[in-house]
Structure 1
Amino acid sequence: MTDDTLHGLLTELTPSKAKVDAYLADTYVLETVEQLTRLGLDPERFSSEHSLLLLKPDAIVARAVEPTLTWLADNDFEVVDARRVVVDRHVARALWYFAWNIASPERRRLADLLVGISDVLVLVVRAPAAQLPTPVRLAEAKGATDPRKRQPGDLRYLLGRHNYLLNLVHSPDDPADVLRELAIYFDEDTRAEVLTRALEGGDRRAHAAALGRELYAETPARSFARADAVARLCAELGAAATESLDHRTSTADSDAAHVALLDAAWSAGRPLDPWSLIVLGSYVLPMRTGSGAQTLRPVGATDWLEARP
């Protein structure tokens, strides 16, 4: 595919000119487009009719697989494939490469801990009756990253973990992102299987639920409560926790006290409960830098509709 042809394709798949420019040289996008073309499939059609829904490790801990599958069915999304995927810090950076230049160092540190909690579940979905492309409709329906912007009916609102970092699910913003994320999650052989299964169009909810149960068996359910995380870390740190709370802050339950507790935990030089670090950090540590760095702005349904002729 020539640069001009790829440019034309991407222009159809996203209203973001910045994204088109970035994805022209993106290895993940190029891999998927090349494979679809070689298999005789239309990249524009496939990525418009299908999307991906990632259930992150926090979704596994929260036992969110079954509620998510129910929500998808209730909102006219079909699950046409489901895959268990091993993730690490590199997968996280690949997924959010164009956004993490504004992520705080603390957020990256917590995200690196989070990907070590469990494998993830990736669902391939489609919405045959939707007027919008499936990825655009799903991105709108799942709800915002910011808990204050979530609405009743949103997937993230339904799942009930109203936290910025621990938002349980992720999906591509538009069809261009679908092409990119297919190559992040899956190698070429697995991707070929996913494409075949997706085009067969069978109902794979039962398979997804079974994979969820496998992940549950390996990953204990845990509390998302800040107080429980503080209690666990204090118990593990002992005197070091008491010293951090007594000498560096005046109020034991303040954000400053809990930041001091995290500092003590990371300074201890010994393994501590990663889930408690993640939960407490998600409440009190900054999630974004204040540097004003630019990132690719998420695409919404309004952007998509306004960009269409």
Structure 2
Amino acid sequence: MTTLDWSALTRSQMKRDLYARETYFREGLGDAEEILAAGLPAALRDSALLMLKPDGLAAGRLAPVLDYLDEHGFTVTAAREFRLQPFHWRELWRYQLTSATLDRLAVNELLLGAGPALFLLLRSAPGHQLPGTVRLSTLKGSATLEAQRPGTLRALLGQPNRVLSYVHVADEPADLLRELGLLFDADARRALLTGLAGGALTAEAKDTLDRARERFAAPTRSLTRANALDRVSRAVENAAPGPAAEAARRRLERMARGERVEWRPFLADLAAAGAHPDRWDLAVLGTYVIEYDEPGHPKVLTNPDPQTWASAPEQRETA
């Protein structure tokens, strides 16, 4: 496939084994080899990827994210707005979905399709011990509120729950390549890599970023539980009376008491009652009331310790 040493891509043997068989990764790598040529190893070392998810843009978090990146030595070299499709998110988190409930899948599909996402390729300032992807992944912090440390990006952004995490980053260089292959067609992928090779925003990418700064300078949606619950409840009150509407109302009463509910049956009640809440409100409400993960089903892949990148890699075969 390539003469590039896998130790420049990942410190996870399992990730290496899985990605080597995957077309998303191979397409991303193939285009990167062609566009970046001899500069590929250095580019992979110095680059990072960050995506403002639809909830992050709607919450008005673009400006603080860009400020945080600048303060930590990251420069935006390419930017593209796009729409996440259901298969994008399922494939992006393919190796984590073993621990996700079907209700979480349903909520994420509502949420990630509710608005645009903003994809940024970044160049890390020189002189750091860790690759740009690994450094940014460490700075990002945990999606779990209780595990967030002061000074991390997610702690700064003040996300309301684990699903409304606002941002996504590639954890290692291999993930950056895979996500380029997954999220974009060949023309878009090559344009992004060309921006990365040039080290500065093109006029088109600068316009994309400037328009996003203006459009999402302030929150465009409320992501609070109370507001979402109120608006979804009003949609149910305006629906045709009947068993489905009554069942939906009972589930909403449980949500108001802070109880978790089965989400897909609730969606079925809404549909049967002819209730049509705003998609954003419905998606946001779901993030507060679903069970996130199936107990006893761990992720297939977990991130290697960042310190494995600070030391010489184990001897490995080239790919």
Q: Distance in 2 between matches of 1:274 and 1:287?
A: 20
Partner residue, 1:301: 306
Identity among equivalent positions (%) equals 32
Matches within 5 A, 1:87-98: 87-98=84-95
1:102 aligned partner, one-letter code: S
- Describe the superposition over 1:246-282 as per-residue Cα deviations: whole angstroms up to 9, x where unpaired: 76798673233x6279844541214322222222211
Distance 1:302 1:134 in 2: 13
Counterpart selection for 1:255 from 244, 258, 262: 258
The partner residue of 1:121 within 118, 122, 128 is: 118
* Contact 2:103/2:264, CA 8 A, preserved across alignment: no
Residue 283 of structure 1 is matched in structure 2 by 288
- The count of aligned residue pairs is 303
* Greater relative CO (CA pairs within 8 A, separation 6+): 2
Q: Residue 20 of structure 1 corresponds to which residue in structure 2? A: 16
Q: 1:106 aligns with which of 94, 98, 103?
A: 103
Coordinate RMSD, CA, aligned? 2.9
Q: d(CA) in 1 for partners of 2:250 and 2:208?
A: 50
Q: Tell whether the 8 Å contact from 1:262 to 1:277 is kept in structure 2 after alignment.
A: no
201-210 vs 180-189, which deviates more? 201-210
What is the CA–CA distance in structure 1 between the aligned matches of 2:188 and 2:42, rounded to whole Å?
Answer: 20
| CA–CA separation in structure 1 for the residues paired with 2:156 and 2:195 | 29
8 A contact 2:101–2:292 mirrored in 1: yes
Sort the Cα spacing of 1:26 and 1:156 in 2 relative to 1 into closer, same or farther, 3 A. same
1: CA distance, partners of 2:146 / 2:281: 23
Give the corresponding residue for 1:236: 235
Residue 123 of structure 1 and its aligned partner are, at CA, apart by 0.7
Q: Which runs of 5+ in 1 are unaligned?
A: none
Kept in 2, the 8 Å contact 1:85–1:122? The answer is yes
- The verdict on how the C-alpha distance between 1:43 and 1:174 changes in structure 2, with shifts beyond 3 A counting, is same
SS of equivalent to 1:140: helix
Q: Label 1:284 to 1:213 Cα distance change in 2 as closer, same or farther (>3 A).
A: same
Query: 1:176-255, aligned counterparts within 5 Å?
Result: 176-202=174-200, 207=207, 209-213=209-213, 216=216, 221-238=220-237, 243-244=246-247, 253-255=256-258
8 Å CA contact retained: 1:136, 1:300: no
| Contact in 1 for aligned 2:251/2:261 (Cα 8 Å) | no
